[in-house]
Structure 1
Amino acid sequence: MWRPRAIWPEGRPVCWRNCSGLLPDMEFTEQLALLQAAAGDPAKLALATADLAFPALPPGERLALREALAAAAIAHWFDANILADLLEITAEESRVLHGRLCQLTVVEPFPARGETAVNVHEAARLALRKSLAAERTDWFRTLSERTATHFAKEPTPAARIEWIYHRLCSAPDEAASELERLDRDWSGTAHPEDREALAVALRELVGTGLIHARALVWASLCIAWVREDRRETAQLGDDALSIRDLARDVRDARAESDAESLLGEVLQAQGKLGEAQVAFAENLAISRRLAEQDPSNAGWQRDLAVAHSRVGGVLQAQGKLGEAQAAFAEDLAIMRRLAEQDPSNAGWQRELAGAHSWVGDVLQAQDKLGEAQAAFAEDLAIMRRLAEQDPSNARWQRDLAVAHNRMGGVLQAQGKLDEARAAFAEYLAISRRLAEHDPSNAGWQRELAVAHICEGAVLEAQGELGEAQAAFAEGLAISRRLAEQDPSNAGWQRDLAVAHNCVGGVLQAQGKLDEAQAAFAEALAISRRLAEQDPRNAGWQRDLAAAHNCVGGVLQAQGKLDEAQAAFAEALAISRQLAEQDPSNAD
Structure 2
Amino acid sequence: MIVALDPQNLARQRDLGIAIANVGIVKTALGDAEGAFAAHQEALDLRLAMMAADPTVLQYQRDTTYSLSLVAETHIANGDFQTAEPLLAEAVRIKADIVGATPDDLLLLTELTNLQNRHVDILLELGRADEALAVARQSLQTADRMLELAPDVAQYTQSRLVSLNRIGDAEVALGDHQAAVATFQDMARMGDLLLEVDPYSQPWASDLAIALERLGNAQAATGDFAGALKSHQNCLALRDWLVQQDPSNADWYGNLSISYERVSAMLVETGDMQAALDHQDMSVTIRRDLVAAFPDNPYHRIDLVRALDLKATLLQDPTSANQEALSILEEMYAQGTLPPEYVEWIPAFRKVLGLPTEF
Normalization by structure 1: what TM-score?
A: 0.45
Displacement of 1:261 in angstroms is 6.3
Q: Which runs of 5+ in 1 are unaligned?
A: 1-172, 174-211, 225-233, 488-492, 532-543, 567-587
Q: 1:245 aligns with which of 11, 36, 39?
A: 39
Question: Aligned residue for 2:339?
Answer: 529
What amino acid is aligned across from residue 291 of structure 2 in structure 1?
A: R
Question: Aligned residue for 1:463?
Answer: 273
Q: 1:402 aligns with which of 210, 225, 229?
A: 210
Aligned residues of 1:505 and 1:516 also touching (Cα < 8 A): no
Displacement of 1:384 in angstroms is 0.5
Structure 1 distance, partners of 2:340, 2:132, is 22
Displacement of 1:381 in angstroms is 0.5
Q: Which runs of 5+ in 2 are unaligned?
A: 1-10, 48-62
Aligned residues of 1:421 and 1:458 also touching (Cα < 8 A): yes
| Secondary structure class of the residue paired with 1:391 | coil
Aligned residues of 1:425 and 1:455 also touching (Cα < 8 A): yes
Displacement of 1:522 in angstroms is 5.6
Displacement of 1:460 in angstroms is 4.4
Displacement of 1:254 in angstroms is 5.0
Question: Aligned residue for 1:288?
Answer: 93
Question: Aligned residue for 1:519?
Answer: 325
Q: Residues 413, 330 of structure 1: CA spacing in aligned structure 2 closer, same or farther, 3 A cutoff?
A: same
Aligned residues of 2:264 and 2:277 also touching (Cα < 8 A): no
| Secondary structure class of the residue paired with 2:200 | coil
Q: 2:219 aligned with 1:425, yes or no?
A: no
Question: Aligned residue for 1:472?
Answer: 283
Displacement of 1:255 in angstroms is 4.2
Displacement of 1:359 in angstroms is 1.7
Q: Residues 290, 420 of structure 1: CA spacing in aligned structure 2 closer, same or farther, 3 A cutoff?
A: closer
Aligned residues of 2:217 and 2:228 also touching (Cα < 8 A): yes
Question: Aligned residue for 1:416?
Answer: 224
Aligned residues of 1:449 and 1:475 also touching (Cα < 8 A): yes
What amino acid is aligned across from residue 39 of structure 2 in structure 1?
A: D
Displacement of 1:379 in angstroms is 0.3
Q: Residues 277, 346 of structure 1: CA spacing in aligned structure 2 closer, same or farther, 3 A cutoff?
A: farther
Structure 1 distance, partners of 2:338, 2:126, is 17
| Alignment deviations for residues 192-241 of structure 1 (CA, whole Å, 9 cap, x no partner) | xxxxxxxxxxxxxxxxxxxx9959978997x99xxxxxxxxx98854896
- Output the aligned Cα RMSD: 4.4
Question: Aligned residue for 2:8?
Answer: none
Displacement of 1:440 in angstroms is 4.2
Query: Matches of residues 364-383 of structure 1 in structure 2 within 5 Å?
Result: 364-383=172-191
Structure 1 distance, partners of 2:228, 2:288, is 24
Q: Residues 413, 500 of structure 1: CA spacing in aligned structure 2 closer, same or farther, 3 A cutoff?
A: farther
Question: Aligned residue for 1:228?
Answer: none
Question: Aligned residue for 2:130?
Answer: 322
| Secondary structure class of the residue paired with 1:509 | coil
Q: Residues 361, 254 of structure 1: CA spacing in aligned structure 2 closer, same or farther, 3 A cutoff?
A: closer
What amino acid is aligned across from residue 211 of structure 2 in structure 1?
A: A
| Secondary structure class of the residue paired with 1:307 | helix
Aligned residues of 2:284 and 2:308 also touching (Cα < 8 A): yes
Q: 2:118 aligned with 1:310, yes or no?
A: yes
Structure 1 distance, partners of 2:97, 2:130, is 25
Structure 2 distance, partners of 1:443, 1:473, is 15
Q: Residues 427, 351 of structure 1: CA spacing in aligned structure 2 closer, same or farther, 3 A cutoff?
A: same
Question: Aligned residue for 1:502?
Answer: 307
Question: Aligned residue for 2:242?
Answer: 434
Q: Residues 344, 485 of structure 1: CA spacing in aligned structure 2 closer, same or farther, 3 A cutoff?
A: farther
Q: Which has the higher contact order (CA 8 A, sep 6+)?
A: 1
Q: Residues 285, 506 of structure 1: CA spacing in aligned structure 2 closer, same or farther, 3 A cutoff?
A: same
Aligned residues of 1:356 and 1:378 also touching (Cα < 8 A): yes
Q: Residues 406, 248 of structure 1: CA spacing in aligned structure 2 closer, same or farther, 3 A cutoff?
A: same
Displacement of 1:401 in angstroms is 1.4
Displacement of 1:517 in angstroms is 5.3
Identity among equivalent positions (%) equals: 19
Q: 1:350 aligns with which of 153, 158, 163?
A: 158
Structure 1 distance, partners of 2:319, 2:92, is 53
What amino acid is aligned across from residue 375 of structure 1 in structure 2?
A: T
Structure 1 distance, partners of 2:329, 2:89, is 36
Normalization by structure 2: what TM-score?
A: 0.68
Displacement of 1:404 in angstroms is 1.4
Q: Residues 285, 517 of structure 1: CA spacing in aligned structure 2 closer, same or farther, 3 A cutoff?
A: farther
Q: 2:168 aligned with 1:360, yes or no?
A: yes
Displacement of 1:376 in angstroms is 0.2
| Secondary structure class of the residue paired with 2:175 | coil
Structure 2 distance, partners of 1:218, 1:443, is 30
Q: Residues 515, 393 of structure 1: CA spacing in aligned structure 2 closer, same or farther, 3 A cutoff?
A: closer
Structure 2 distance, partners of 1:219, 1:397, is 36
Q: Residues 506, 331 of structure 1: CA spacing in aligned structure 2 closer, same or farther, 3 A cutoff?
A: same
Aligned residues of 1:453 and 1:499 also touching (Cα < 8 A): no
Question: Aligned residue for 2:7?
Answer: none
Q: Would you say how many aligned residue pairs link Structure 1 and Structure 2?
A: 316
